[in-house]
Amino acid sequence: MARRRKVYEGKAKILYEGPEPGTLVQYFKDDATAFNNEKKGQITGKGVLNNRISEFLMLRLSDAGIPTHFVRRLNMREQLIWEVEIIPVEVIVRNVAAGSICKRLGIVEGTPLPRSIVEFCYKSDDLGDPLVSEEHITAFGWATPPEIDDMMSMALRINDILYGLFVGIGIRLVDFKIEFGRLYAEEDVRTVLADEISPDSCRLWDVKSNKKLDKDRFRRDLGGVAEAYQEVARRLGILPEGGPADMKGPSVMQ
Ligand code: UDP
């Protein structure tokens, strides 16, 4: 079978040339990596779930006025996206201390932060995505000051929207990582949300039990990884029992 041209292959996704100029097809793999590629594995069905979860969240954000690269889902593992130039900065938003901030600042995991904190990391596997300041970003030309303003304000709005959405289904949005891209349209260039938002890139804890429903189950060998991703999809109302025709909206937990 003739296959589209592969444009890029990352750890969890592959990008293919899209059907129209300026579009790409984003394919979600079951591959999982952690600790900067030191730990590798497969989570059965992850690609299918992340494709749906990311679609759902991107559409909710788009409804709320956040510009995104998402066009539409094509099938179980693929979505059509606008081709963007990825800004080489990972934007992390934290509501509760977990992961690297605990190690770096000696904070106990689970401590609520006094306010939501936005961090920037330079996207470089070789360097292990180091934490950087706005000064580094502008000095080395990774993004311009207006792009940093766009990323910062969008990240906080995205956090507000997603935090509320997840609380409604009994999940605490502890932290998440997002990426932005430059969307070129004629003379114009716009900063848009890119990549994915899924349990691979978020920390999601059950509000009542604090059970981890995200990639930390894989990172820390906690077991039940695929089940946790399914649980997130189920609560969002996007894990159909009888196929795609059964798709429902989110079920609100009391
Ligand atoms: N994250 C990610 N990709 C990365 C690094 C972090 O998706 O390369 C996500 C991670 O899943 C978590 C948040 O960003 O939801 C904050 O991660 P942290 O800085 O605590 O790093 P970690 O402890 O996960 O290495």
Tokens encoding 244: 């795609």
* Spatial separation of the C-alpha atoms in residues 14 and 196, rounded to whole Å: 12
Ligand 1 pocket: which of 37, 100, 120 to mutate (most atoms within 8 A of CB): 100
Lowest-pLDDT choice from 36-45, 103-112, 196-205, 238-247: 238-247
List of residues 6+ apart from 127 with CB closer than 8 A? none
Helix axes 46-63, 225-236, angle to 10 degrees: 30
Kindly give the number of the ligand 1 atom that is closest to the alpha carbon of 203: 15
CA 48 to ligand 1 centroid distance, Å: 21
The overall pTM is greater than 0.95: no
Ligand 1 pocket: which of 175, 197, 217 to mutate (most atoms within 8 A of CB): 175
CATH number for domain 6-84+222-253, candidates 3.40.50.720, 1.10.10.10, 3.10.129.10, 3.30.200.20 = 3.30.200.20
Kindly give the number of the ligand 1 atom that is closest to the alpha carbon of 201: 7
Q: Dump the DSSP string for 127-182.
A: TT--EE-HHHHHHTTSS-HHHHHHHHHHHHHHHHHHHHHHHTTTEEEEEEEEEEEE
* Spatial separation of the C-alpha atoms in residues 92 and 118, rounded to whole Å: 6
pLDDT in tens, 86-137: 999 999 999 999 999 999 999 999 999 999 999 999 999 999 999 999 999 9
pLDDT in tens, 33-44: 999 999 999 999
pLDDT in tens, 2-60: 578 999 999 999 999 999 999 999 999 999 999 999 999 999 999 999 999 999 999 99
Look at residue 228 and give its three-state secondary structure. helix
User: What is the residue with the minimal CA distance to atom 24 of ligand 1?
Assistant: 99
Kindly give the number of the ligand 1 atom that is closest to the alpha carbon of 202: 15
CA 20 to ligand 1 centroid distance, Å: 33
Contact in structure between 149 and 89 (CB atoms under 8 Å):
no
For residue 2, the model assigns a pLDDT of: 57
Within 6 Å (CB) of ligand 1, which residues are found? 92, 98-101, 129, 175-177, 201-203, 215
* Spatial separation of the C-alpha atoms in residues 57 and 200, rounded to whole Å: 13
Q: How confident is the model at residue 249 (pLDDT cuts 50, 70, 90)?
A: very low
CA 201 to ligand 1 centroid distance, Å: 6
User: What is the residue with the minimal CA distance to atom 3 of ligand 1?
Assistant: 201
Q: What is the architecture of the domain spanning 86-206?
A: 2-Layer Sandwich (3.30)
* Spatial separation of the C-alpha atoms in residues 120 and 128, rounded to whole Å: 13
Residue 252 has pLDDT above 80, yes or no: no
* Spatial separation of the C-alpha atoms in residues 98 and 110, rounded to whole Å: 6
Residue range(s) occupied by CATH 3.30.470.20 in the chain: 86-206
For residue 119, the model assigns a pLDDT of: 98
* Percent with pLDDT over 70 in the chain: 93
Burial class (CB in 10 A: 0-12, 13-18, 19+), 142: middle
